[in-house]
């Protein structure tokens, strides 16, 4: 819809310029600094419109480039934030797993100490199971 409106407005402006140029077809004298020339007014009007359009285009292109650069920078910033957020989540998960590992290692260590203390309190106890013997052998290694 927006492009359609622009196109209609531009066509209307072009029609007005062409109509104005055709109505003013008589030749006029143009004073260039070193020479004078007789040129049809139609040509002067069309050249003036083209020069004006080029000036507007040049002014607009600079603004468009700046905005495109800003958009690229903001997109990169968003990507960096998403990456950092994902890394933060991954780091949090790694920290949680490391904490669980430490807790498990402490629990295993406590169980070994209890087993050794139990064995020390009754060294002649023949009721030590094969599993307990293997745990003791592993601890000795």
Whole-angstrom distance, CA of residue 124 vs CA of residue 121:
9
Query: What pLDDT band is residue 12 in, cutting at 50, 70 and 90?
Result: very high
pLDDT digits (tens, 9 = 90+) for 128-138: 555 556 555 55
Residues 128/119, Cβ–Cβ less than 8 Å: yes
Give the predicted TM-score (pTM) of the model: 0.44
Q: Where are the beta strands (DSSP E) in 10-52?
A: 27-31, 36-40
Whole-angstrom distance, CA of residue 94 vs CA of residue 101:
10
Which is it for strands 27-31 and 36-40: parallel, antiparallel or unpaired? antiparallel
Domain limits, the chain: 2-98
| Phi-psi region at 129: left, alpha or beta (left = phi > 0; alpha = psi -120 to 50) | beta
Residue percentage of the chain with pLDDT more than 90:
4
Please report the pLDDT score of residue 139 as a whole number.
53
Please report the pLDDT score of residue 51 as a whole number.
93
Instruction: List b or e across 37-74, with b for residues whose CB sees 16 or more CB atoms inside 10 angstroms.
Output: eeeebbeebeeebeeeeeeeeeeeeeeeeeeeeeeeee
Query: What pLDDT band is residue 26 in, cutting at 50, 70 and 90?
Result: confident
Q: Quick one: average pLDDT of 16-38? A: 84
φ, ψ for residue 30, nearest 5 deg:
-105, 130
Q: Quick one: average pLDDT of 30-54? A: 86
Whole-angstrom distance, CA of residue 53 vs CA of residue 107:
80
pLDDT digits (tens, 9 = 90+) for 68-125: 898 888 888 888 887 877 777 777 777 888 888 888 888 888 888 888 887 777 655 5
């Amino acid at each position: 819809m927006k492009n359609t409106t622009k196109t209609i407005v531009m066509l209307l402006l072009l029609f007005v310029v062409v109509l104005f140029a055709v109505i003013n077809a008589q030749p006029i004298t143009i004073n260039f600094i070193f020479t004078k020339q007789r040129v049809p007014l139609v040509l002067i009007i069309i050249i003036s419109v083209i020069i004006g359009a080029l000036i507007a285009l040049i002014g607009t292109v600079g603004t468009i480039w700046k905005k495109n650069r800003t958009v690229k920078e903001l997109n990169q910033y968003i990507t960096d934030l998403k990456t950092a957020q994902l890394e933060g989540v991954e780091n949090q998960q790694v920290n949680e797993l490391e904490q669980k590992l430490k807790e498990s290692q402490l629990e295993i260590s406590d169980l070994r100490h209890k087993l050794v203390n139990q064995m020390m309190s009754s060294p002649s106890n023949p009721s030590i199971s094969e599993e307990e013997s293997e745990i003791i052998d592993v601890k000795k290694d």
